[in-house]
Amino acid sequence: MLPRFFSCTGRSMPLRLASRKVSVALHCCRKTALQYQSYSTTTGTAAFSIPKTRNIGIIAHIDAGKTTTSERMLFYAGVTKRIGDIDDGDTVMDYLQAERERGITINSAAITFAWANHRINLIDTPGHVDFTMEVERAVRVLDGAVTILDGVAGVEAQTETVWKQASRYNIPRIAFVNKLDRTGGAFGRTVQEMWKKLQSRPLVVQLPWYHDDNAELPQNASGGRLKAIVDLVEMNLLTWEDRDGMQLTRTAFTSADDKTYYEEAVRGRTALVETLAELDEEIVDVFFEQADGDHMQVPAQAIKDALRRVTLANKAVPVLCGAAFKNIGVQPLLDAVIDYLPSPLDRPDAIATINNNKTQLIPLKESANLCALAFKVTHDPRRGPLVYVKVYSGKLNHRMTLFNTTTKAKERVNKLLQMYAKDVEEIPMVQAGNIGVIVGLKGTRTGDTLVQSNDTKAIKANLQLDNIDIPSPAFFSAIEPHSVSDEQAVEDALVHLTREDPSLKVWTDEESGQRLISGMGELHLEIVKDRLINDFKCKTDMGKMRISYRETCQGSGIAKAEYDKELMGKRARAKCKVELMALDQDSADDDDDHWTMDTGNRLCIQMDGSSFEDDNDNDHHHHTRSSPSGGSTLKKEDIYQAAHTGLLSGLARGAVLGFPLTKLQVKVTDMELFGPDTTTGAISACVAQGVQDAIQQASPCLLEPMMQVHTEVNEHHIGTVVSDLSGTRRGHVLGMESDASTDPSAVDNGTTQIYAPPDSVMVQGDVAGYVPKHVIKAEVPLSSMLGYSSALRSLTGGSGSFSMRVIGYGEMSKDRERVVVNEMKGW
Ligand SMILES: Nc1nc2c(ncn2[C@@H]2O[C@H](COP(=O)(O)OP(=O)(O)OP(=O)(O)O)[C@@H](O)[C@H]2O)c(=O)[nH]1
């Protein structure tokens, strides 16, 4: 195979070296132990300065090996005394009972440890689609991320989702191709997929070294055995001889070790220097001035510096490899976290909103006022709620009084903690850029902003760090305490759970009086049930998991509503007219009325023939009396607000099954008020009644949540999976994307070439069993996606994977609607 050198057509090529003779003089045949590494530390990480801090997360597809890798990290860092095993259910990171039972990560656990004289705050994140919000919450406080890829499965559907999340927050990343000990493990192919599917620029900094002279080592696809790792930066061979992988030995890698591999390593280093030179000016100077134009002579430190610069600038992603389960590759991964991922000082300032619409930057300064984000709340049976915070500016002291600008409440810090999985250390202070845990906050929830209680400027301006948009929950279920005496305990537990996880919503159904809880997916609610019973020891059941439908109207309706009631001896009166129609392109009239979008509906409140907004600019400041006919003692903005509340409450319960209404255009007109008899309550009730009456006339119907589904399958399974999606599951298949090629040398998009080592060289023979993958893209009703994971497993013999997200609500046939109504009403 010819060496593949790198050109970049379309821009000047910084290094024209394809024809140069590659010098191998730097690393000659001498084989010496260059470095023997084993860092050990326990506590005391608070002493590290901010430039020596790394707030990192591990993001990946479910089962890629996040937990296995983090467990090894903790072991090598000296935090744990033995390696936890997911398969035995005794890991440190997955500490909730539900997590241990299922062998998956549910809550991201933040944990601090020291490595190479640095503090690493590691946040483990879940890979299951139901916990996308959990990943999102973790990702926004990260400064950098390690993406773990399964070297057998490659880049999977959910990897793309979490990758996009990290891209949205511009998080610099390094990648670790794991499970290379397994049959079918293919490093080169995975690197290609990173480029093709994730649109990233992978920079290979290590190669897996397969060798078959040691029967003790695990066997891979074609009989090769993962023996060691070749470090292309240092041109070293990394080996782990002992059972638990504690002892890493680095020796100079030479052609005497293995000629073919050595040649590939030279190609890899050449490609690395070439690509860096394309992305970074400084390395070009080093190349010519210090290395005499020889790729192999470029000092390792210069390559590391350039790798750090391009990673921080999000121009490329260093790619490492190994097999965490076999204790191969984890220490170099930790070194790469320190070398290539940013400290908080390398990150752009955090963004906050002030006065509800202006943007303000929060520079990372210890001398500034405190500004912190509560990114996670957990319930500790002994200590009470633990609030994980990232401090963006200032210093958080123990015993400080805080102000929560989201809940508008004062909060007092009792203690500050640094978490080491289950162990904790009490600390006096958390400085800007660092992560800590507050004990003692009464009402702070995940996503809230905290400032000092004496920072009147921030409090007045309502300073809020950007929060996360929570998509509407897709599933709900009834909570059924065993007896009346169990109700309070269940309520208390629900308060804790919703504080921890804002994507859970609890409410009471007006008609049945039942307590209901909604969440993002089936597993999400199953975990809630588990936690109610096991963690909170509640005596409760949960009803059948149901889908959160929506309602809308197909026609239009006009209703005149009059509210006239006596409440506690006082008359309450109001009149109005409500016009309602389906919201489609035609109904979006362009008159002068002031329309606003709320809950997926277009709303307008017309007051005295002109829109409120038109008058409002003048009235807001002068508090003049209202203009709707009849007059009132109320301020105009209060009347508007009351009518708006009425609109929302009228649209909260549909006529078919009581689900919220969406995709409607609703206008309130002809408001009639009756002096002191008209209260805000009367206005709200009157408008809500008008909306409900209008809905009855407008052919109400159900809408169902629609999912965008990406299913990844091998060629042999395309037919079965497509017919399942479009037939049984009532989906609409939109198209299909295929792996462009399995040939590494073909990775070229016309302007950029990517180095991906040929897997044939890596494993000394063909990579057995690789079948190109195809992504089927479809839109499918959520109700048809229930149990899809196991169905797909049996359709594809376990090789298929999928990701899905809600894209909106779609109409359903009358027959289908009848089935759903009957099912919901228990007929
Ligand atoms: N052969 C092999 N198996 C591995 C390796 N890494 C992880 N595994 C296995 O893969 C499975 C999943 O590993 P986890 O570490 O739980 O994966 P995860 O990404 O944390 O999964 P979630 O927490 O559910 O998202 C377990 O059975 C591990 O033992 C590896 O390097 N080689």
Residue closest by Cα to atom 11 of ligand 1:
63
Domains along the chain? Answer: 27-346 (3.40.50.300), 350-465 (2.40.30.10), 475-547 (3.30.70.870), 555-698 (3.30.230.10), 703-825 (3.30.70.240)
Do the annotations mark residue 415 as ligand-binding? Answer: no
Tokens representing 814? 């009358």
- For the record, the structure tokens of 393 come out as 């500016």
Give the closest residue to 186 by CA, choosing from 763, 797, 799: 763
Contacts of 367 (CB under 8 A, 6+ apart): 394
- Which residue's CA is minimally distant from atom 22 of ligand 1? 104
Of the candidates 299, 280, 276, 317, which has an alpha carbon nearest to the alpha carbon of residue 59? Answer: 317
Q: Mean pLDDT by 10-residue block, N- to C-terminus, for the chain (827 residues)?
A: 31 34 25 30 56 91 86 86 59 50 45 90 69 74 94 84 87 96 88 90 94 53 69 94 86 90 94 94 91 91 97 97 93 97 95 87 92 88 86 92 94 88 80 92 90 94 82 82 91 89 83 83 84 89 87 94 86 92 68 76 77 40 46 80 94 91 93 87 94 95 91 89 92 81 44 77 48 85 86 86 83 90 79
CB distance 331 to 248 below 8 Å: yes
pLDDT at 618: 41
Q: Which residues have any ligand 1 atom within 6 Å of their CB?
A: 60, 62-68, 86-87, 103-105, 126-127, 178-179, 181-182, 323-326
Nearest protein CA to atom 5 of ligand 1, as residue: 325
Query: Distance from the CA of 527 to the center of ligand 1, in angstroms?
Result: 21
The Cα 722–Cα 736 span in angstroms is 10
Q: Which two tokens stand for residue 762?
A: 């890596």
CA of 761 to the centre of ligand 1 (A): 26
Strand partners, 580: 557, 666
Atom of ligand 1 nearest to the CA of 323: 31
Q: How far is the CA of 97 from the centre of ligand 1 (A)?
A: 18
Which residues does 426 contact at the CB level (< 8 Å), separation at least 6? 398, 415, 416, 417
**How remote is the CA of residue 725 from the centroid of ligand 1, in Å?**
29
Question: 619 labelled as ligand-binding?
Answer: no
> Is the Cβ–Cβ distance between 468 and 429 less than 8 Å?
no
Size of the chain, expressed as the number of residues it contains: 827
716 is in an annotated binding site: no
Predicted confidence at residue 76, as pLDDT, reads 92
Tell me whether residue 66 is annotated as binding: yes
Cα–Cα dist 32/2, whole Å: 31
CB within 8 A of 757, min separation 6: which ones?
Answer: 187, 188, 191, 204, 207, 264, 267, 268, 744
Annotated ligand binding at 694? The verdict is no
Q: What pLDDT is stored for residue 676 in this prediction?
A: 83
Q: Whose CA is nearest to atom 14 of ligand 1?
A: 65
* pLDDT at 413 (0 to 100): 94
pLDDT of residue 546: 85
Enumerate the β-bridge partners of residue 518: 476, 505
Q: How far is the CA of 67 from the centre of ligand 1 (A)?
A: 7
Buried/exposed code over 714-741 (b: 16+ C-beta within 10 A; e: otherwise): beebbeebbebbeeebebebeeeeebee
63 is in an annotated binding site: yes
Q: How many CB atoms lie within 10 A of CB 453?
A: 16
* CA dihedral over 135, 136, 140, 141, signed as positive or negative: negative
Q: What is the whole-number distance in angstroms between the Cα of residue 170 and the centre of ligand 1?
A: 27
- Phi and psi based region of residue 50 (left: phi greater than 0; alpha: psi -120 to 50; beta: remaining): alpha
- CA of 359 relative to ligand 1 center, distance in Å: 42
Is 369 annotated as a binding-site member?
no
Protein residue with its CA nearest to atom 7 in ligand 1: 65
Residue 64 is labelled as binding a ligand: yes
Q: How far is the CA of 58 from the centre of ligand 1 (A)?
A: 13
What's the Cα-to-Cα distance from 138 to each of 143, 150, 388, 602, rounded to whole Å?
10, 21, 11, 34
**Most ligand 1 atoms within 8 A of CB, residue of 59, 67, 68, 178 to mutate:** 68
60 is in an annotated binding site: yes
Bridge partner list, 36:
249
Q: Looking at ligand 1, which residue's alpha carbon is closest to its atom 12?
A: 63
Nearest CA residue ID for atom 27, ligand 1? 87
User: Whose CA is closest to atom 4 on ligand 1?
Assistant: 325
Q: Is 13 exposed, middle or buried (0-12, 13-18, 19+ CB in 10 A)?
A: middle
Distance CA(249)–CA(34), nearest Å, equals 8
Q: Which residues pair with 515 in a beta bridge?
A: 479, 508
Residue 63 CA to ligand 1 center (angstroms) comes to 5
Pocket probe mutation, ligand 1, options 58, 86, 159, max atoms within 8 Å of Cβ: 86
The CA 94 to ligand 1 mean position distance, Å, reads 12
Identify the residue whose tokens are 């809020």.
464
Measured by CA distance, the residue closest to atom 21 of ligand 1 is 63
Q: Which atom of ligand 1 is nearest to the CA of 328?
A: 31
For the CA of 128, the closest atom of ligand 1 is: 25
**Amino acid present at 356:** N
- Mutation pick for ligand 1 pocket among 58, 61, 67 (CB with most ligand atoms within 8 Å): 67
Its pTM surpasses 0.90: no
Structure confidence at residue 575 (pLDDT): 92
Interface predicted TM-score of the whole assembly (ipTM), two decimals: 0.97
The residue to mutate among 325, 327, 803, having the most atoms of ligand 1 within 8 angstroms of its beta carbon, is 325
Distances in whole angstroms, Cα of residue 537 to Cα of each of 73, 540, 541, 704: 33, 9, 12, 35
Task: Give the three-state DSSP class for 279.
Answer: helix
- Ligand 1 atom with least separation from CA of 71: 15
Q: Using most ligand atoms within 8 A of CB, pick from 58, 62, 63 the residue to mutate for ligand 1.
A: 63
- Residue 418 structure tokens: 């640094």
Rounded Cα distance, 317 and 305, in Å: 14
Q: How far is the CA of 799 from the centre of ligand 1 (A)?
A: 16
The angle, 0 to 180 degrees and rounded to 10, between the axes of the packed helices 300-312 and 281-289 is: 170
Counting from 1 in the atom list of ligand 1, the atom nearest the Cα of 126 is 25
How many Å apart are CA 11 and CA 8, to the nearest integer?
Answer: 6
| 407 among annotated binding-site residues | no
CA-182 nearest atom, ligand 1? 1
Residue 185 token pair: 């493990």
Task: Report the C-alpha gap between 210 and 227 in whole angstroms.
Answer: 5
Task: Please report how many Cα atoms fall inside a 13 Å half-sphere around the Cα of residue 129, on the Cβ side.
Answer: 21
Atom of ligand 1 lying closest to residue 102 CA? 24
CA of 66 to the centre of ligand 1 (A): 7
- What are the angstrom distances between the C-alpha of 295 and each of 31, 215, 735? 21, 36, 44
673 Cα–ligand 1 center, Å:
66
Q: How far is the CA of 445 from the centre of ligand 1 (A)?
A: 31
Q: 809-815, long-range: CB within 8 Å, 24+ apart, which pairs?
A: 809/549, 809/550, 809/552, 809/600, 809/662, 809/663, 809/703, 809/704, 809/705, 809/706, 810/703, 810/704, 810/706, 810/779, 810/781, 811/701, 811/703, 812/701, 812/702, 812/703, 812/704, 812/781
Q: What DSSP string describes 661-707?
A: B-SEEEEEEEEE--GGG--HHHHHHHHHHHHHHHHHHS-EEEEEEEE
Alpha helices (H) along 724-813:
759-762, 788-796
* DSSP-assigned states of every residue in 303-316: HHHHHHHHHHTTS-
Amino acid at 388: Y
Annotated ligand binding at 127? The verdict is: yes
The strand pairing partners of 733, in sequence order, are 778
